[in-house]
Structures are given as structure tokens and as C-alpha cells.
Amino acid sequence: MAEERNEMVDEIRAKWDAKNTVFIDLFHIPENRLKLFQALHPEMKDVTVDDIKPVTLNPVILNLSYNDLGMLVRDKLLIFVEAQSTWSINILIRILLYLAMTYQNYITEHKLNVYGSKKLEIPEPEFYVIFTGNRKFEKDYISTREDFWNNPDAQIDLRAKVIYAENKNDIIGQYIIFSHVLDARIKKLGR
């Protein structure tokens, strides 16, 4: 019996995308989305769970783009959060595509006329990348203008705040600590 149990344990391995799975599962819980929002916007103390609507792109049947987390706060603020353990500046282009698809969904849902002359009332977007790898950054944001195209005159500049420091007092820091502990355990013990 003990031998069978040991064989079963030997077959159990950590998923390659364990950190991403934990991130998505963690912020699927409404109270945790609120904690994340409070970590990003501590000045907005009156926001409640009911003020936050998930707008994460998660196609079930079609092979379309998906993102880690999108949330709409009071129909005013659109927040995208992506978790990355391996660095790629291409995250900026993916975020741009997520934004376009999310705005398309928002415009359709609210029956807004993009061809009319009246300015659309759409939520202001914010972009965050939670980085759990070992790389350190010279600044706390990345930008298509500066980091992707290296052109100060580029017509589009999508900027995303990069969060990589461990603040043990909030849910973001706790997720980063979890990721570092998981990486250390995998390095020491294997998957």
C-alpha cells in the first residue's frame, strides 16, 4: 500500500502554468478582486465588491485571445492585470489587443454608436503587469513608445505599470511571494 502511494506521489508534478492557474483562480473570487483593486487604488476606499465587474476575455468555444484579468470598476475604470513569470515586451501588444476586444464588447453591450458625432462615454483604461521573475527594471512601467518602438514620436503609447516588488501587506505581494516560493521549491525538488 505504501509503495503504491509513493508511486502515485512520484507521478504528481507541478503544472507548467501553476502560477498562472493560481493567479486566475485567486482573482476569480470577487473579494480577492476587491483586494487587488484596493492594492492598486488605496485612495478609493469606498469601492465595494458590487462595484467591480469582471470583463476578462475568456472564450470558451472559439480560439480567440484571452487575458489574465480584466475588471470594470463603476463603469468608469477599466483595469487589465497580466501576470508574467518570463519576461516579454510583447505583453504590451497583447494588452493593446485585449483593450480593443474589451472595448468592442463594451460598445456592443451598451449599444454605443461609434459612427456618431457625440463623444462616447467609455471607461478609462489602466494596465498592470505583475512580474514574478528575477529581472529588475530601471523604471516602474513599460511603454510601446519607449520600450517597443523606441520612438518618442510614435503615435500610440500604451503604458503599463510593472509591479515586481514584494509588499507583504497586500494581495499582489502575497501572490509574488507565492510565485518565488514555488520557483524555489521547483528548483530544489523539481516539478
Quote the pTM value.
Answer: 0.84
User: In residues, how long is the chain?
Assistant: 191
The vertex-120 CA angle with 114 and 126, nearest 5°, equals 110
pLDDT band at 63 (very low <50, low <70, confident <90, very high): very low
Is residue 59 pLDDT above 60, yes or no?
Answer: no
CB 72 within 8 A of CB 81: no
Burial class (CB in 10 A: 0-12, 13-18, 19+), 151: exposed
% of the chain surpassing 70 pLDDT? 84
Q: Rg of the chain over CA atoms, in angstroms?
A: 19
Strand ranges across the sheet with 52-54: 52-54, 69-73, 77-84, 124-131, 159-163, 141-143
Q: Are strands 141-143 and 159-163 parallel, antiparallel or unpaired?
A: antiparallel
Report the distance separating Cα 178 and Cα 122, nearest Å: 35
Distance CA(91)–CA(93), nearest Å, equals 5
User: What band does 166 get if pLDDT is binned at 50, 70 and 90?
Assistant: low
pLDDT tens across 78-137, in order? Answer: 888 888 888 999 999 988 988 888 899 899 999 999 999 999 999 999 999 999 888 888
**Buried b / exposed e along 129-143 (16+ C-beta atoms within 10 A):** bbbbeeeeeeeeebb
- pLDDT bin (cut points 50, 70, 90) of residue 61 is very low
Q: Give the whole-angstrom CA distance, residue 155 versus residue 167.
A: 35
Q: Above 70 in pLDDT, residue 167?
A: no
